[in-house]
Structure 1
Amino acid sequence: MDPKKKAITAAVVGTALGVGGLVVVAMPASAGDAPKLPAISAEDLVQSVMTADPGPFDGTVSVSNDLGLPAVGGAIPGMSALNVDSAHVFSDGTGKAKISLTNGASQETIVRDGTTVWDYHSSNNSATKTTIPADVATQHDMGAGELADPATATKELLAKVRENSTVSVDGTANVADRPAYELVFTPKPTERTLLREIRVAVDSQTRMPLRLSVLSNGTTAPALQVAFTDVKFAPQSADLFTFTPPQGAKVTEKTAKVDDQTKALADEAKQDTKLVGDGWDTVITGKVPADALSGKKPAGASGAEGRNADPQQLLSRFAKRVNGTWGSGYLFTTKVGGAVLTDDGRFAAGAVPEQVLYEALGQK
């Protein structure tokens, strides 16, 4: 299988390769002739996407990336997700969801029924059952990122770039055998970004986004793609959202909670992290934990939860040494953005040229 055509749940969109909080994804070519649909204004189409409630559905989601990321295996969180071969997403339309991920002969199954999340790995026949108390579920959308889909990603994206974009409807397309409008967001001339445009294929009937796309400056091929390859809008069987571990499976049970230490760490991270700029040229800045660059395992971590590689060796191998009035550190770039990690633990990341990253680091 072409490594650029791996299929994967859209969870990756929200977790693996967002730059500066901006979801960056791209689309494949449309199949067949463009369908004929009633004319609609760009503003009306945007509004219908933001308020869409497609109800229950199931579908296969695919991701194809041409970011030029280094092959670092599991050394960087989220990177291994790009090697998943296939994914199937189920939703009952009320918050219950299931994702089946396949990679070679192994499979991971994630099921959420509202108050419980199961995460099963066939490779070692192990499962984790997490119970979500009502107060925690209210304060924190537990598991939402894991069980995302293109519609969720699109709404987050539109909130980031809508006011700083020229918005248009660029014809129609067939996506997952469904007629769709092509909604296009182009950065205004004042935006300093490496991205040229973002495209959203919107289902003509349900108004649910079926495909998200981005093109970067200086390239003709998509940088990263997420799309439904097939989708069906229909009631889902209730037994899809229940899970029974296979015989002999090792089951670990835990309860989701936000203890004082977790709250303190979250508050500290919030204080240390800020957004510089807005829209397309937003840069997120902050500090990494002290042990992140030391190669030490976080407190309480063991095995796969610990470090998989020496961070300093990874930086030396895959990033460029840089310095300026802001200090010194390492620059990592892709086709759609970059990040700088300073020697004293500060970082800046965004879908912007490197000079914009340096300017953000220099702000107090």
Structure 2
Amino acid sequence: MATARSNRIGRTAAAGIAVAGAVGLGLLAVPAGAGAQPALPPVDPEELVRSVLAADPQPLAGVAELDNGLGLPALPGVPQAANGTSTARIWSDGDRRGRVQLPTESGERTLVSDGETFWSWNSEDRTVRRMPEGEHERDSANADPGAAAAEALAKLRPTSVISVDGTSDVAGRPAYDLVLAPASTERTLLREVRVAVDAEHRIPLRLTVLATGSTDPALQIGFTDIEFGPQDPELFRFTPPPGAKIEDARPGEHGERDAEPTMVGDGWDTVLVAAAPEPDAERPELAQLGRPVTGPWGSGRLITSAVASVIVTDDDRIAIGAVPEQVLTEALAR
């Protein structure tokens, strides 16, 4: 959700970074604008990065599209977007309030931050969850291209070779194409992360993750439509629908053994290590995924794709990152 950046950038997108090299909890693909590249003044790469990280949040309304090509199966305890393309509508007042609407198979999820309380409404089961602002789920930030890209920049900048590769048109707006490539010391499956930065507001409009040896995006998130300007305050107020079930959610509830995962390492070879949820009916399916692996850390199963690796251990831990197997096992052994 496009709420205050200081709250958005932190643990919310950190887990995503482990999945896709610094970003990856679930994001999407946006086709680049057709036609000639916009003519923009030259800009120094480091100056562009600094301007993005220092930019003030803007009031806006937009549509973001997500194309998740990570190729990972659904795993219990692993936060990720579904494979394929999805769409979200986003509103922000440029301060602390925001709204995201996410279509589901048979309904819609609505996420609202009114500045004090975070509300999550699921039309399928007619359930409302609420919790104090700052403790809410990752879903809202994962839907916001600006939050995802800013988080990627902050996390990858110290271990990256940074350049500007021309310009592009994103959602009808001229943008600089900022490129971050892993330094030679990084152990990652990724080749580069590209961020299209709005030339006027210095807000990321699109983020693309590319794997080594492939020209197709493994993960891409961006706006297909965006308008900057004041938004109707009513968008950021939420009243539970009549007959809705209301739950006061707290971190660690709903079967979560450990609400906070651990980030091991930094930069491109960051690994997310988390406790799996309590074993349930889904757990036996893991026996058909990946291949068995063992080490000083224990035993489990390794599941891989072109851009990510996952180990699910027999003692109910999960390690995931855009890294080779060795980096995962080292993280589990710590």
TM-score by length of 2: 0.83
Matching residue of 1:143: 136
How big is each residue's C-alpha offset from its partner over 1:187-234, in whole Å with a ceiling of 9 and x where there is no partner?
Answer: 111211100000000000010000011100121100011111110001
Letter in 2 for 1:22: A
Matching residue of 2:309: 338
The worse-fitting range, judged by mean Cα deviation, of 55-64 and 76-85 is 76-85
Give the 5 Å matches for 1:66-215.
66-70=69-73, 72=74, 78=79, 85-124=86-125, 126-128=126-128, 130=130, 132=132, 137=133, 141-143=134-136, 145-148=138-141, 149-215=144-210
State, as a whole percentage, how many aligned pairs show the same letter.
43
Q: For the structure 1 residues 174 and 351, does the alpha-carbon distance in structure 2 shift closer, same or farther, using more than 3 Å as the test? A: same
CA-atom RMSD in angstroms = 3.0
How big is each residue's C-alpha offset from its partner over 1:137-195, in whole Å with a ceiling of 9 and x where there is no partner?
Answer: 5xxx1337333222222222122211111000000000011000000000111211100
Letter in 1 for 2:202: R
Larger of the two Rg values belongs to structure? 1
1-side partners of 2:122 and 2:137: how far apart?
19
2-side partners of 1:357 and 1:77: how far apart?
15
2-side partners of 1:99 and 1:38: how far apart?
34
Q: Is the CA contact 1:118–1:127 (under 8 Å) kept in the aligned structure 2?
A: no
2-side partners of 1:88 and 1:356: how far apart?
37
Q: Is the CA contact 2:300–2:311 (under 8 Å) kept in the aligned structure 1?
A: yes
1-side partners of 2:83 and 2:297: how far apart?
33
Q: CA deviation at 1:318?
A: 1.8
Higher strand share: 2
Q: 2:246 aligns with which of 248, 252, 261?
A: 252
Letter in 1 for 2:41: P
TM-score by length of 1: 0.76
Q: CA deviation at 1:319?
A: 2.2
Q: For the structure 1 residues 22 and 230, does the alpha-carbon distance in structure 2 shift closer, same or farther, using more than 3 Å as the test? A: same
Uncovered stretches (5+) of structure 1, i.e. residues with no partner = 1-12, 296-308
Uncovered stretches (5+) of structure 2, i.e. residues with no partner = 1-11
Aligned residue for 1:189, secondary structure, equals coil
Matching residue of 2:13: 14
How big is each residue's C-alpha offset from its partner over 1:218-261, in whole Å with a ceiling of 9 and x where there is no partner?
Answer: 21100011111110001001111123344x4324153x667xx8
Aligned residue for 1:49, secondary structure, equals helix
Q: For the structure 1 residues 252 and 285, does the alpha-carbon distance in structure 2 shift closer, same or farther, using more than 3 Å as the test? A: closer
Q: Is the CA contact 2:66–2:87 (under 8 Å) kept in the aligned structure 1?
A: no
Matching residue of 2:270: 282
Q: For the structure 1 residues 129 and 320, does the alpha-carbon distance in structure 2 shift closer, same or farther, using more than 3 Å as the test? A: closer
